Amino acid sequence: MGERTVVGTEAFELLAADGSVRGRRSCGSDGEPGLALLDRHGGARFRLRLESDGTVALTIHGQDGAPALEAAIWNDGSRGIEVRRPDGAQVAEIGVGSDGFPSIGVFHPSGRPAAQPGPGRKGGAALLLLDTPGRQRVEIGLRGDGDAHVGLTDRQGQERLVASVTKKGKGTLWIDQGEAGDQAARPSDEVDRFLGAMRRWMGRR
């Protein structure tokens, strides 16, 4: 074998034919490495970096230079992807926590959560819908044993309607009109039609 030549440097730049810098590989002030790809105007469009705590992060920028997509694996083992609007506000995210539990989020323009679907911890699934101030207004759930339910909440956080269907096909509908005495609706043609639609929507036949 011939001798190998090793070149050591703190930074390496990739140049286009016109001499413009289109890529940069360097170590930051903390000694951790990073990689950046630049557009024709010198703006960073792609960044890959290793943080001192072991976190690995990837950022993809839009043409305006604002972060459009960010992905990371944090030092605790959790990982996720975030999608952002041109103004930097978060639009959606998907991730897996350090406990292996996945999560999904969709956000209002204000940055507050709007929808949070995900699997349940016992094999089911759930979907939460939140209003602009961040209050939970709708909950749709399916338990691992087959029970399904829908809950509606008013602006004060009070539960007003709960519809459920058990794994054996028994349906119940509970309504609170905010007056003296709650109303537990008994099965009727109208309730049966509602529950039948819920079963079909939940995939029950």
Segment 36-90, tens digit of pLDDT: 999 999 999 999 999 999 999 999 999 888 999 999 999 999 999 999 988 888 9
Q: Where are the domains of the chain?
A: 1-80, 101-205
Closest CA to 172 of 148, 152, 156, 155: 148
The answer, yes or no, to whether residue 22 has pLDDT greater than 90, is: yes
The answer, yes or no, to whether residue 176 has pLDDT greater than 60, is: yes
- Find out whether 46 and 61 touch, Cβ atoms under 8 Å: yes
Confidence (pLDDT) at 145: 73
Closest CA to 150 of 123, 180, 171: 171
The answer, yes or no, to whether residue 191 has pLDDT greater than 70, is: no
Confidence (pLDDT) at 110: 84
- How many other C-beta atoms lie within 10 A of the C-beta of residue 61? 21
Confidence of residue 148 (pLDDT cuts 50, 70, 90): confident
End-to-end CA distance of the chain: 71
DSSP state of 178: S
Confidence (pLDDT) at 3: 79
161 vs 94, more confident: 94
**The whole model's pTM is what?**
0.68
Question: Quick one: residue 42, left, alpha or beta (phi over 0 = left, psi -120 to 50 = alpha)?
Answer: left
What is the average pLDDT across 7-27?
89
- The CATH architecture annotation of domain 1-80 reads Alpha-Beta Complex (3.90)
Phi, psi of 177 (to 5 degrees): -90, 5
Query: Which CATH number is 101-205's, of 3.90.930.1, 3.40.140.10, 3.40.50.620, 1.10.357.10?
Result: 3.90.930.1
- Find out whether 42 and 49 touch, Cβ atoms under 8 Å: no
Closest CA to 114 of 96, 97, 127: 127
- pLDDT of 74-132, one tens digit each? 999 999 999 998 888 899 999 999 988 888 899 998 888 999 887 765 678 888 899 99
The answer, yes or no, to whether residue 184 has pLDDT greater than 60, is: no
Would 1-80 and 101-205 be classified into the same CATH topology?
Answer: yes
Confidence (pLDDT) at 126: 86
- Find out whether 67 and 76 touch, Cβ atoms under 8 Å: no
What is the average pLDDT across 188-204?
55
- How many other C-beta atoms lie within 10 A of the C-beta of residue 165? 22
Task: Output the DSSP codes for 55-112.
Answer: -EEEEEE-TTSSEEEEEEE-TTS-EEEEEE-TTS-EEEEEEE-TTS-EEEEEE-TTSS
